[in-house]
Amino acid sequence: MRVSTNGIYEAGTSAILQQQEALIKTQQQISTGRRILTPADDPIAAAQALNLSQSASLNSQYSVNRGHALASLGLTETTLKNITSNLQDIRQIAVNAGNPSLTDTDRKSLATELRGRFEALLGQANITDGSGNYLFSGFQESTRPFSHQGLNVQYNGDQGQRLSQVGSTRQIAVSDSGTDIFERVKNGNGIFTTAANAANTGSGVINAGSVTSPASLTGHQYDISFSVTAGVTTYDVVDTTTGATLSAGNPFSNTNTISFDGLELSITGDPANGDIFTVSPSSNQSIFKTVENLITALETPASGQSGSRLTNDLNSALQNLDNGLEKILTTRASVGARLQELEALESLGGDLEIQYEQRLSELRDVDYAKAISDFNRQQVYLQAAQKTFSTVSGLSLFDFI
């Protein structure tokens, strides 16, 4: 077989270029630390690495979202803690206001302190996060949630809860609407509320009452009206919703309970002739309204009024403050549960990140021991190719003549 000079040069050059290409590729793998330089190097591993990289990127974004959610809920929990402390102080003032030795002036001083507490409560409800967004305005994060004229407070936000995607299949609420926290608070005992008529002149004091038979509840309004004749006190129970008289001429004793339509209550003291006490279904009453009513009660002079007016007002305020505190504590429990879940998700996300990095390393990263060994071997191959090419290309028939 005849081998032309041109063929010798082409074969030698091709062998050298192949060895140079392999050597350069190994050099790039060692310098970059990557086994796969192009998808052509390992199409299957490259596709798997791409999917894993996308999953790792999403996991990183979820981690960022969880960080924002933790910050927002952490601020919410701190704010609710401060609101709880404020309401407890307001409750203590209400308890102190029941001291019979206090004068009208003393109670006005307490009302002045309550006005300061009211302003603090309003400021806490209008708190913003580090970005200037209001915590308790629902979706309207740039809208101040509560405005007021005097003691009359108006909610300006909406009912929404902002959600954050904190996992591939999990969204979590990072805010709570102010109306849900501060306004949707049932008054009375949560089922019905009792009150004394403002025109009462006796010393009768009504309690919050309780439910004895839920199945018998009607949701109607009632009047309990008293009559005093010849020193004998009786009362009538009238369903004002239907106009029906449930009972009449009942003998009254402040040691007995009054029961009708599945509910029970008691009235102590001595109601006067014509005194009326009302029973109504519980309704939503904002915490701000409860404080407003308490301030009004303390600022109203007791002189010339029924001695039981203030007691009834304070009892109602204490009951409604307790309801407000329970609502705040319930919300804090919900926020705490979400914070706990976020911490668990963050821990899981950290584990996933490690797994993604390990798997990506297995797919993409170079084995340095093998790569260096290959590099040294390829250097020998290249040197051999160059040497043989030099030798073969230098052969000539004239060398043997």
Among 283, 303, 331, the domain-final residue is: 283
Encode 31-68: b = buried (16+ Cβ within 10 Å), e = exposed. eeeebbeeeeebeeebebbeebeebbeebeebbebbee
Residue 306: other Cβ atoms inside 10 A: 23
Q: Which tokens sit at 282?
A: 């519980």
- Asked if residue 38 is part of any domain, the answer here is no
Distance CA 326, CA 285 (A): 13
Distances (CA, A) of 311 to 100, 107, 268, 287, 316: 10, 13, 11, 20, 9
Encode 227-259: b = buried (16+ Cβ within 10 Å), e = exposed. bbeeeebebbbbbeeeeeeeeeebebeeeeebb
- Asked if residue 269 is part of any domain, the answer here is yes
Same domain, 277 and 330: no
Q: Which amino acid is at 72?
A: S
Same domain, 168 and 228: no
pLDDT (0 to 100) of residue 302: 77
The angle formed by the CA atoms of residues 48, 49 and 53, to the nearest 5 degrees, is 120
Instruction: Tell me which H or E stretch contains 385.
Output: helix 368-393
**Domain that includes residue 231, residue range:** 192-283
Same domain, 71 and 169: yes
DSSP 162: -
- Which residues does the chain have with pLDDT short of 70? 1-42, 45-46, 49, 303-307, 360-371, 374-376, 378, 380-387, 389-401
Distance CA 179, CA 184 (A): 6
pLDDT (0 to 100) of residue 58: 85
Among 352, 375, 394, the domain-final residue is: 352
Residue 304: partners with Cβ closer than 8 Å, 6 or more residues away: none
Domain of 129, CATH number, reads: 1.20.1330.10
Same domain, 181 and 201: no
Same domain, 78 and 176: yes
pTM of the model: 0.79
Same domain, 178 and 208: no
User: What value does the CA radius of gyration of the chain take, rounded to a whole number of Å?
Assistant: 41
Same domain, 91 and 175: yes
Number of structural domains the chain divides into: 2
Q: Of 67, 20, 103, 49, nearest to 363 (Cα)?
A: 49
Same domain, 145 and 235: no
